[in-house]
Amino acid sequence: MPPRPRRNRPTGQRELNEAAQLADQMQTAGYTKRDIARIINRDASLVSQFYTKNKGAAFVPALRQVLAAVQAGGITDLPDLASIASRHITRRTTTSGATARVRSKAVLITPTGSGTGRVGAQAIASGSSRLRPLIAEAARHGLRLAFTVRLAKTGYLHPSGSRTDSPGIRRDVIQRADHTEERSYGSAQTGGHDAASFAQRVDAAGGDVTAAVHQWLVETGRIRPDAHIIHLEIRTWRPR
């Protein structure tokens, strides 16, 4: 990637912590804050907090390794860099040495394999990154998954209620007053999708869950290539 121009930091501003300095070097190498967030499998807002709230110490070892891979190893693909980073990210510990609790929303999958994640328009525009951990966790546990999408009626290639498109799955088809429709793909009754295979799709899309779902819908002839997803829900369960 070609380097992006950087603006000079105003004089008198406090010195950046190491996580922010490494993030700066990643941006100089051509990566955005959103790219960095995908590499460390976190929300882009956390990367911004490297600068504003002095956070990011737990990601310094991972960012060092990633930066070295970019500068010395010539590795540039986000999935490859994310794989490198994952081996160097550890949970914080308390003063007693115990693993610290995660303060953000945790990925919750019950013993039966049931889990749900939903995102709206703003999160979808940034790749639905908060759904990626749910999909990854489902893949690790060998679960099945289904998803529900909402988009403009004109974006679908099959008419409402078509069994070719979404045959009797959970919510079937929900029509909205704003000329959008909600359709579900996969269920426990029909077998759903293999979470591991879907996780590979997400990785191939650079961690962009929205793009992975959109690509599947286009490949299977369900939506138009220019259709925009405005709501996305992922559900998981354990196969019988």
Lowest mean pLDDT among 66-80, 89-103, 153-167, 190-204: 89-103
Task: Domain count for the chain, please give it.
Answer: 2
In a domain, 8, yes or no: no
| Each residue's pLDDT tens digit, 79-126 | 889 888 888 887 655 555 555 554 444 467 888 888 888 888 778 877
Q: Write out the residue range of the structural domain in which residue 185 sits.
A: 115-237
The string of pLDDT tens digits covering residues 22-50 is 999 999 999 999 889 889 988 788 898 99
**Final residue before a domain boundary, out of 86, 103, 132:** 86
In a domain, 33, yes or no: yes
Q: End-to-end CA distance of the chain: give it in Å, rounded.
A: 46
Assess if residue 197 is contained within a domain: yes
Evaluate whether residue 94 is within a structural domain: no
Answer yes or no: do 59 and 159 share one domain: no
Q: Are residues 135 and 222 in the same domain?
A: yes
- Among 69, 86, 103, the domain-final residue is 86
**For residue 171, pLDDT beyond 50:** no
Tell me the pTM.
Answer: 0.56
Whether residue 92 is contained in a domain is answered as: no
Rounded Cα–Cα distance for residues 221 and 216 (Å):
9
Residues 41 and 132 in one domain: no
- On whether both 71 and 26 belong to a single domain, the answer is yes
Residues 209 and 124 both lie in one domain: yes
Q: Are residues 139 and 225 in the same domain?
A: yes
Buried b (16+ CB within 10 A) or exposed e, 24-50: ebbbebebebbbbbbbbbbbbebbebb
